[in-house]
Amino acid sequence: MSDAPTPTQSPQRSRANGREAAAQGAVAAKSAAAPPNAADAEVLARAQTGDHQAFAQLYALHKRRIYSLCLRMVGNVAEAEDLTQEAFLQLHRKIATFRGDSAFSTWLHRLAINVVLMQLRKKGLSLISLDEAMEPSPEEGPSRSFGAPDLTLTGTIDRLVLERAIADLPAGYRLIFILHDVEGFEHNEIASMLDCSIGNSKSQLHKARLKLRDALRAQNRQEARP
């Protein structure tokens, strides 16, 4: 095992989300989960036979996105590291069962999402499954608002305020918002990860954005107070 390459030194596949790609002056990929190339498929096949070097390469290819997802979901570095570790350990245990019904990245994300949701449950949040994560209770849903013009958001949103509002979203809304609007996954990919319909993914994303708008407008009102 010691002869395995150091995953942190391995080249990263350029499948960054839109923000990263923009930062690098590259053209953002339309979907976050690009089709694997032949070399990736070969690495995957070797990892499935127990090749530790190949598994290390898989880790190097996917660690950034899985860690970032964990970090965005739990907002705590130490916890995100533990969750990343657990997700890849589960991957090691289950990789032989991957049959290619979905993209490997989608499958791995689903596995990581389950690890994250399990952790949130341990922390006492009242969700126990993806189904529950996708169906927040009515009181957690967005309120209706008949957008009076003085309460609409201006063109700029304070980054910290938005990050805090995302952190305060119910876990299901947070998950789908991060997967789509931050990570750049398409609805069909999210539907596969979360085992829901594409329509459900779209409508839940819409509710998440509405909920964020509620929070941002509340913040604006607070700041506007004399």
Partner 1 sequence: MNGDSSKMSCAEFQDRMAELIGSGEDLNAHPHLKDCADCRALLADLKTIAEAARQLFPSVEPPDEVWEHIESAIRNEQSSSDPG
Considering only residues 26, 37, 39, 81, which one is a binding residue for partner 1 as defined by CB under 8 A? 81
Q: Report the distance separating Cα 5 and Cα 57, nearest Å.
A: 8
- In angstroms and rounded to an integer, the radius of gyration of the C-alpha atoms of the chain is 19
How many residues does the structure list for the chain? 226
Pick the binder of partner 1 from 11, 149, 222, 226 (CB under 8 A): 149
> What's the rounded Cα separation, in Å, for the pair 159 and 185?
21
Does residue 56 bind partner 1 (CB under 8 A)? yes
Task: Tell me what percent of the chain is helix, strand and coil, each rounded to the nearest 5.
Answer: 65, 0, 35
Residue 67 sits in the site that holds partner 1 (CB under 8 A) = yes
Binds partner 1 (CB under 8 A): choice among 14, 76, 129, 163: 163
The C-alpha atoms of residue 147 and residue 206 are separated, in whole angstroms, by 16
Token code pair at residue 175: 């998950």
- Stretches 39-47, 78-86, 101-109, 116-124: which one binds partner 1 (CB under 8 A)? 78-86
Q: Which residues would be at the binding site for partner 1 (CB under 8 A)? A: 1, 4, 6-8, 16-20, 22, 52, 56, 59, 63-65, 67-68, 71-72, 80-81, 84-85, 88-89, 92-93, 144-149, 152-153, 155, 157, 159, 162-163, 166, 177-178, 181-182, 184, 197, 199-200, 202-207, 209-210, 212-213, 216
